[in-house]
Amino acid sequence: MANAGVIGAGSWGTALALLLHKNGHKVTVWSIDQKEVDMLSEEREHKSKLPGVKIPEDMEFTTDMEKAVKEKDFIVLAVPSPFTRSTARNMKPYVAEGQILVDVAKGIEENTLMTLSQQIKEEIPQADVAVLSGPSHAEEVGRGLPTTVVIGARRKDTADYLQEMFMNEVFRVYTSPDMLGMELGGSLKNVIALAAGIADGMGYGDNTKAALITRGIAEIARLGVKMGGAIESFTGLTGIGDLIVTCASVHSRNRKAGYLMGQGKTMQEAMDEVQMVVEGVYSTKAAVKLGEKYGVPLPIINKVNEILFEDKDPKEAVNELMLRDSKAEHNALPWKEE
């Protein structure tokens, strides 16, 4: 049995805390909000984010960062991506040399273009930083529905250890050394999911969704490989797998926000209605900057950026995508001579 700390008591942090508890580990969950801690401690249910999922009596909730971090075998960092750096900074005094910290959020910092693991390592250089990613909505993990994810780490022994800690009969865990590719896939798919939601909100059909998913992963993979990620990460669970679930699921906050915008709401109105952090909105500007930095064309991502921040009409954006210069689907495929 391990002693684990979970930093963040939202839907994903709570779902993973429940998973770890089921696996026999002792779990302490931290939240910055005393009201949330009181609610979870007293009602033993996150009624707004994981309704109907009961929380065991021996799972502890606290606002004391030191209590949640110090002397833990590993720590799960599950705060929304805009708060990753500031939370890591607050954790630093309590993190021991070599202590394992696994980030489970997805995003890219706009001003530095750093992934979340890079931000954490910069703030807590003594930590052994890993990531967990894949098609894994908290609502389903919390209910114990079969799910597969990937643990990425710099060291194989760290990945193998975390695989053992998280894996059970309904939560299958693979390992990978490609943290960069995993994080890029997990972050950029949220932008494509906004596009898929916008298309749904405008009443477009399955053909449109399939096109966005397929061409979306092509954009993500082009950029990711150019940045040093492995193509296998984009064709696997942390790439196309995560993209499919985020574009199609009723649980996807990014798809939902996009859907509301497709129906005519502003970005802010959509985010207010979703009532959770829509991480794709925060990643879009960073994705555009990465495309410019590495010289990689990102037509779908650029149109999402124009819709979000330049008041581009979604229908006009779709028309412009459809009327781009004609081209081959895969330039690497040669024509055979007759």
pLDDT category at 319 given cuts 50, 70, 90 is confident
Q: Please state the CATH superfamily assignment of the domain spanning residues 3-177 in this structure.
A: NAD(P)-binding Rossmann-like Domain (3.40.50.720)
Give the contacts of 211 (CB within 8 A, at least 6 positions apart).
none
* pLDDT for 269 beyond 80: yes
Region of 266 (left: φ > 0; alpha: ψ -120 to 50; beta: rest) is beta
* pLDDT for 275 beyond 90: no
Q: Which CATH class is domain 180-322?
A: mainly alpha
What is the C-alpha separation between 306 and 318, in angstroms, rounded? 12
Mean pLDDT of 106-123: 96
Q: What is the pLDDT of residue 299?
A: 94
* pLDDT for 192 beyond 80: yes
Domain ranges within the chain, ordered by starting residue: 3-177, 180-322
Q: What is the pTM of this model?
A: 0.93
**Active-site choice (189, 209, 256, 303):** 189
What is the C-alpha separation between 67 and 210, in angstroms, rounded? 47
* pLDDT for 324 beyond 90: no
* pLDDT for 267 beyond 90: no
Cβ atoms within 10 Å, residue 148 = 16
pLDDT category at 236 given cuts 50, 70, 90 is very high
Does the annotation mark 189 as catalytic? yes
> What is the 3 state secondary structure string of 130-198?
EEEECCCCHHHHHCCCCEEEEEEECCHHHHHHHHHHHCECCEEEEEECCHHHHHHHHHHHHHHHHHHHH
Supply angle C-alpha 214, 215, 216, rounded to 5: 90
Average pLDDT of the chain to the nearest whole number: 94
Q: What is the pLDDT of residue 37?
A: 95
Mean pLDDT of 68-77: 98
What is the C-alpha separation between 145 and 140, in angstroms, rounded? 5
